[in-house]
Amino acid sequence: MKKRIMVLSMIFCMGLATIACGKEESAPETSEAVESVEQSVDDTASEETTESSEEVTEDEEDEEATNTTVWCGYLEASNKELSGEPDEYGVIRAIIYDAHLDGDTFTLEGTLNFKNVMSQDPIGMVPGDVNTFKVDENTKYLLHGGEAGPEEKTREEFEEIFKGLLDSGLFFEVELENGVAKTVNIRS
């Protein structure tokens, strides 16, 4: 329940931010007094930037080089009309209603959540109704459930199983590293 409230609160805040950003675009031109304050802040910031830029650590450089994100949603083809709609708690439903693997591209249709790491709760929505990511020979295809732990499948085995699970209600999760799938997971 706490997680749902937190997600709802985050979505509410993101909605307010979106509304506020939209209003900025239609706002009248700023006055000269505001512009002069912004200029003096920018000048001060540029002086401080030279000192702090020398203190970049190796960890920060590695973090910038590797862009990792996780996309997730529920496989519910029969609930296509509910994809992206709020549930009874106001949380946006992350429903994948169609998906296919074509060559090195995996295409998901529906609403997806995203998070920064696998263990984190979703923190936002992936934009768009159709999203693609790349797979390669290093991508792992995992089925989670039962007591034995995750079961790794070949790409061909996963494709065959996946076709039958599009309306299963199971949880789909893909860990992307620099736009390429590191793991593709289906969880019960």
pLDDT tens, position by position, 131-151: 999 999 999 999 999 888 899
Q: Give the pLDDT band of residue 51 (cuts 50, 70, 90).
A: very low
pLDDT tens, position by position, 88-115: 999 899 999 999 999 999 999 999 999 9
Q: Give the pLDDT band of residue 118 (cuts 50, 70, 90).
A: confident
CA distances from residue 81 to 2, 100, 122, 143, 187 in whole angstroms, order as listed: 27, 19, 21, 27, 23
Positive or negative, the Cα torsion across 181, 134, 148, 170?
positive
Positive or negative, the Cα torsion across 126, 127, 131, 134?
negative
Give the whole-angstrom CA distance, residue 188 versus residue 105: 24
Task: Tell me which H or E stretch contains 121.
Answer: none
Mean pLDDT over 63-70 rounds to: 73
**DSSP-assigned beta bridge partners for residue 125:** 113
Q: Give the pLDDT band of residue 65 (cuts 50, 70, 90).
A: low
DSSP letters for 130-143:
EEEEE--TT-EEEE
**DSSP-assigned beta bridge partners for residue 114:** 71, 124
Give the whole-angstrom CA distance, residue 71 versus residue 117: 10
Q: Give the pLDDT band of residue 1 (cuts 50, 70, 90).
A: low
**What is the per-residue pLDDT for 17?**
59
Residue 35, pLDDT above cutoff 50: no
Q: Give the pLDDT band of residue 180 (cuts 50, 70, 90).
A: very high
Residue 83, pLDDT above cutoff 50: yes
